[in-house]
Amino acid sequence: MKVCIHIQTHEPHFKYTDLLIKSFLEFTNISELEIPIFIIFDNDHEIEKYKKTYKYDYKEVNYIDVSNTINNVELKFTEKSNELFKHKINIQWGSGGHRNYVAVKRIYSILELEKRGYSHVWCMDSESLVLKELDIQKIIEHNLNKPLLTIGKYQYGIKYPQIINDLFKLNYEDFKNISVRMNDFWFIHTNYFSEMINFLFEIHKNPISYFINGSEQSIYEYYIYYKYIKDNNSVNLIEIEGDLHENNLFKQIIYNDKLNLDYLCEKLNNIYFDYVQSYRGDYYKMTLGSQRGKELIRKLNISIAVSNYTGM
């Protein structure tokens, strides 16, 4: 099994990317484990600009030009980087706009890393930051054997029936009681990921930018749940009684001072945070806005703020 860290960036986020890499080098044992870091850029001009400004003693920092990957990748349906979104499926989910390009960029780069022999890709948003010392081997070991999928149960959280009905052409009845986008922890099993893309190729007979009209995380989570339905033993499924999206669960805990923090934090650590040690950055900052929120954060096993932290 080969693991790497994937950091996607563009020029306005170069300084955040640098801070994230330096935080990995300062607070984790990444150097001892010799885990490669791949920074994903839009083009080779951005790579050269980044390399002139930011230098690392760590030899395992690598650079990928995604435009080159798109133009040369061997897939059943291909496209050129200047042709992205020329034709698009008539459905959408998530925030849309530039985020769709971000999703396509991440998909192509994950497929490229699988081609290079990586079985697992830990995707980190460039605005993430390692906050304190931790052994990342523990996070990796918890996520190697099976994909970890965190879902909300019943009415909680985000639901995208259009992904099931129109993108995957599956029966939404099997998915209606779960919610996705409960976290921003993206530890990708590349064999499942490429299998998902081939599954979508067979349905839509078009290149990737045609059918990716929203977050790739959402479709990957639904696909992993589809695998779980077919074989419960193939996925480590975590069910949250509440909605982590928009920090709703933490807000409920903070506002209801009758809830026992010790009991809740021990439960959340045991079923979730011990596996990922990560929480979305803007939600992390939001939680620190009250004394009870600070106490909540202190009791949870969170060492990494993922997404929307340094740039907020």
Domain ranges of the chain: 3-306
pLDDT band at 154 (very low <50, low <70, confident <90, very high): confident
Domain 3-306, CATH 3.90.550 — does that match? yes
pTM for the full predicted model: 0.96
Supply the pLDDT for residue 97.
Answer: 78
pLDDT digits (tens, 9 = 90+) for 250-309: 999 999 999 999 999 999 999 999 999 999 999 999 999 999 999 999 999 999 999 999
Over residues 39-46, mean pLDDT: 98
Supply the pLDDT for residue 82.
Answer: 96
pLDDT band at 157 (very low <50, low <70, confident <90, very high): confident
- How confident is the prediction for the chain on average, in pLDDT? 96
pLDDT digits (tens, 9 = 90+) for 214-264: 999 999 999 999 999 999 999 999 999 888 989 999 999 999 999 999 999
pLDDT digits (tens, 9 = 90+) for 100-109: 999 999 999 9
Output the DSSP codes for the chain.
--EEEEEE--GGGHHHHHHHHHHHHHHB-HHHHT--EEEEESSHHHHHHHHHH---S-TTEEEEEHHHHHHH---SS---GGGTTSS--S---SS-THHHHHHHHHHHHHHHHHHTT-SEEEEEETT-EE-S-B-HHHHHHHHHSS-EEEEEETT-SB--HHIIIIIS---GGGTTTEEB-----EEEEHHHHHHHHHHHHHHH-S-HHHH--S-HHHHHHHHHHHHHHH-GGGSEEEEESS--GGGHHHHHHHH-TTS-HHHHHHHHIIIIIHHH-EEEHHHHHHHTTSHHHHHHHHHS---EEESSSTT-
